[in-house]
Amino acid sequence: GDSVTQMEGPVTLSEEAFLTINCTYTATGYPSLFWYVQYPGEGLQLLLKATKADDKGSNKGFEATYRKETTSFHLEKGSVQVSDSAVYFCALSDLNYGGSQGNLIFGKGTKLSVKP
Amino acid sequence: DSGVTQTPKHLITATGQRVTLRCSPRSGDLSVYWYQQSLDQGLQFLIQYYNGEERAKGNILERFSAQQFPDLHSELNLSSLELGDSALYFCASSVGGPTGSGNTIYFGEGSWLTVV
């Protein structure tokens, strides 16, 4: 079945460091790809998304490019801040899954801690 | 604030009991989804409703059931509770239905269930 694999954390960085969180996927159809973020004590928030190959999603300085050839959707940010400390989830939604684009399959999450 | 409202935020109950979690989707959203987040299983899709009808089922136990009412709010019923059911239960909503493309799914802050 469809699955998402993301790098295990925790990841600890200093402020202004470069961030990469790797995400790869397995899907039988044509998935849309997402990054969600969960700040401490809060729910999940959509960070960015890409719906087809070579699309780049971006938001709040974060970017991820949908790479079909490598089945990857790595999250990057050039300069992290303390306020970026959170758990980041990579997810896919496959049109073939239940016939709806709404059903997300999540990776296990990567906890990011940014130190001042 | 995503606009998705979940109650209660925290719930402690004993094994064997039954609880009901409630979700109000964002205004105008027709689809409601339930997810379970636990330490060992991560984030798992449980079930989706669209405009009152069940649309897709994921890893939902037979002891669990859900419904979506005419006013579009949804309830997740968990019965014969076991210690392993302790988790954070998220509700999410989106505008789209079965053929929606690129629909954004908005998550509530979750209901923490502790079974003792």
Tell me the pLDDT of chain A averaged across its residues.
90
Give backbone dihedrals phi and psi of B85, rounded to 5 degrees, phi first.
-85, -10
Q: Is the pLDDT of residue A74 over 60?
A: yes
Contact B101 A51 (CB under 8 A): yes
Per-residue pLDDT of chain B (116 residues; tens, 9 = 90+): 789 999 999 999 999 999 999 999 999 999 899 999 998 888 999 999 989 999 888 889 999 999 999 999 999 999 999 999 999 999 999 887 554 455 678 899 999 999 99
Say yes or no: B101 contacts chain A, CB-CB below 8 A: yes
Three-state SS for B31?
strand
How many helices (H) and strands (E) are present in chain B, helices listed first?
0, 11
A4-50 pLDDT tens trace = 999 888 999 999 999 999 999 998 777 889 999 999 888 899 999 99
Contact A102 B58 (CB under 8 A): no
CA–CA dist A91, A106 (Å, integer): 4
Three-state SS for A82?
helix
